Chain A
C-alpha cells in the first residue's frame, strides 16, 4: 500500500513512469532526482501521508527502499 502510493507520488514529482521505479532507485539512477526535486518529493510525500519527516531522516533517504521504510515508520508513529 505505502509502496504503491509512494511510487505514484514519486512518478508525479520526478516525472518518470512508475514502472521505472524500483527499490534500488536513487538520485544516481533517476536523472530528475536532483537536490531540489528531492525537497519537492518530501513536500509531496508529507502531504500525501500526513507526516513530517525530521531533518535527520531526510538525510537518511538514499534510495526508494529507505524512503519506504522511513514513511512506514512515521506513519505508524502517527496513527494513535
Chain B
C-alpha cells in the first residue's frame, strides 16, 4: 500500500471494485471536524486489497454528533478530531483565555465525542484518533497550554468505558514518516484537509489489524523457508553445525530473534510451518539440536522436498484445511517469492531483506499486523489440534504455469571457457556444493588451474542473472577428453549452486556443453556420470531427464550416454551464450 501512487491507486481501485462485487460488504464511516474526503479512496483501496467490498462514507465537515446518529449500522466508524481547527477558532495559543473559557473548550470536545460514542454503541468498532498537537507546535515549550489540553483529552479517551472504542495513536505515523509528509499546508489552509494522502496510506496500515479482526480474515499460518531465513547458512552445504541461529554467533543473532518470533506465535495459536528445498533429514537435524530455539514441536506442518513451493504451499493449505489466503510465506529468495506472488497472489509474502538487521523488525511488524494477537484458550491448543487432525492426503500436483513465470524472469547466462580469473570461485563451488553435484569431486585452486591448462580438460563456468539481479558464478562443468578415444568426452563434474535450482538453467547449460564446446572438438559421444552421495539425490535423474540414456551402474557410479542422436531438453526462455 505504501508504495502505490495516487493515480495507480485509482486505477487499481476501479479494477478491484468490479472484481470484488460479490465479496463481503464492509461499511466504514469517517467523521470529524476537518475535511476528510482525501481518505475515502485510500480506505476503499485498502479494503478491496483485503478482499472486501467497501462502502466508505465521509461525514460532513464538523458535523460529528449529527452524523454519528446515522451510521449505527456500520462495521467501523472512525472519528478524526483535529485540535488545531478548534483552537484556531478561539485563539491558537490559548492566550488571553480565562480558565473557565479554557475548561469550556475541553468540555465542548468531550461532550461531542461522548455523545457520538453513545450514538455509535451498536457499531462493532469505533476508532477515535488520539489528540495531537504535533503538527502545530514545533517547540512544545511555547505551547504548554495546548499540550496540557491535548493530554487531558487523551486521558478522557483512555478512561471512557465503552467496549467498542479503540484509540489510534496518530503521533506514531508522524514519527514514522515525518510531519512534512503527513500535512500539506496548501490544502490545510484552503480546504481544511488535515492529512495528506501519504498519511492516510500509513493510517490504513495502522488500523488494518482491526479490520482483519472484525472480518475474521486474519492470517492463520506462517510458513518459513529454512536456509538463510530461519538460520544463516545452507544446511545442505554447511551442515547442521555450520548454520548459525544464536546470538552468540556473528551472523546468527538476527535469526535467533526470527526463531523467537516463530516460537512466540506458535504459543499464541498461530500455525508455524516450513517450506524448504532441502533434504528433510538435514533440516530436522537442525531443529533437533539441543540449542535450537525453534524446535520440531513448534512446527505444525512442513514440506521439505525439491518440488516447487507453489505446489507445496497449496498442499500445506489443503492439509490444514485453511484457505490459501490464510498463509504468510517468508523466504530469502526473490525467485521463490516472485513465483509465489505470481501463482498464489492470495498468499502474503515477506522476502528476507538484504540488510539483515531490519529483518526481525519487518517480520514482527508483519505478524502483529496480520495475525490475531488476542488468542482464546481454544486457539492455544491449535498447534496440537492441527497436528492431530492432519489428513495425510497425497498432494496432487497442480497445473500452474511455472514456465510462464520462468519466462518472465528474463534469465540470462554467460558461460566462460577456462577463465583463469574465476579459479578461486570455481574451486570454492566444487568444495562447497553438495546437492546439485553429479560427481561431488572436490578441487583445489591449483588443481583447477592445472585442468584449465591441460589439453585433456575444459573447465566451463556459468554466471547467471535475471531481472532481479545477479546470482553470480553459480555453475561449473568440467569436461574430460580421454587421450585414447578421441571422439568421446566424459563429464567429470557438473554442479550448480542451490541458489539457482529449479529454473532449468542446468539443461540449458548442458546444451551449451554438448552443442558448442563438445562439437567444436568433434566429439561424437558424451558420458555423463552420476555418483550418488548422501546429499545429491536432487541430481539423480538429471542426465536421463535431459535426454541421455538410462544409467549403467559401474562401481559406485551410474554412466549415462549421449550420442547426439536426439535433441537435449531445451528451454528457449533462458538466454545463454559463451563468452568469447
Contact = CB atoms under 8 A, between A and B. Distances in A.
A44 interface: yes
Given A12-B11, A35-B191, A36-B37, A43 B186 contact: no
B308 to A, nearest CB: 37
Nearest to B41: A40
B38 A9 contact: no
| Residue of B7, B11, B187, B197 with most partner-chain A CB within 10 A | B7
Nearest to A47: B5
Per DSSP, chain B at the interface is helix
B191 A44 contact: no
Interface string B9-39: 0110000000000000000000000010110
Contact of A47 (B6, B41, B189, B190): B6
Contact of A39 (B5, B11, B187, B189): B187
A80 interface: no
Contact of B6 (A35, A36, A44, A54): A44
Interface string A35-56: 1100110011001100000110
A58 interface: yes
A39 B193 contact: yes
Interface string B34-60: 010110010000000000000000000
Given A12-B11, A39-B38, A39-B191, A58 B186 contact: yes
Contacts of A9: 7
Contact of A12 (B7, B38, B190): B7
A40 B186 contact: no
A70 to B, nearest CB: 14
Interface string B342-370: 00000000000000000000000000000
Per DSSP, chain A at the interface is helix
B67 to A, nearest CB: 17
B228 to A, nearest CB: 36
A40 B38 contact: yes
Interface in B259-312: none
A39 B7 CA distance: 13
A74 B38 CA distance: 24
B10 A43 contact: no
A44 B37 CA distance: 15
Interface in B66-121: none
A54 B184 CA distance: 11
Nearest to A37: B37
Contacts of A36: 35, 37, 191
Contacts of B38: 39-40, 43
Given A39-B38, A39-B191, A47 B7 contact: yes
Contacts of B37: 36
Interface in A1-55: 9, 12-13, 35-36, 39-40, 43-44, 47-48, 54-55
A39 B37 CA distance: 10
A48 B7 CA distance: 8
Nearest to A46: B6
B181 to A, nearest CB: 13
A12 B187 contact: no
Contacts of A58: 186, 190
Nearest to B35: A36
Given A12-B11, A36-B37, A43 B6 contact: yes
Contacts of B41: 40
Interface string A68-80: 0000000000000
Contacts of B193: 39
Given A36-B37, A40-B38, A55 B190 contact: yes
12 contacts: A12-B11, A13-B7, A13-B10, A35-B191, A36-B37, A39-B193, A43-B38, A44-B7, A47-B6, A48-B7, A55-B186, A55-B189
Given A13-B10, A36-B35, A48-B5, 5 more contacts: A12-B10, A35-B191, A36-B37, A39-B187, A44-B5
Interface of A: 9, 12-13, 35-36, 39-40, 43-44, 47-48, 54-55, 58
Task: Give 8 nearest A-B pairs by CB, closest first.
Answer: A47-B5, A44-B7, A36-B37, A44-B6, A55-B186, A43-B6, A12-B10, A47-B6
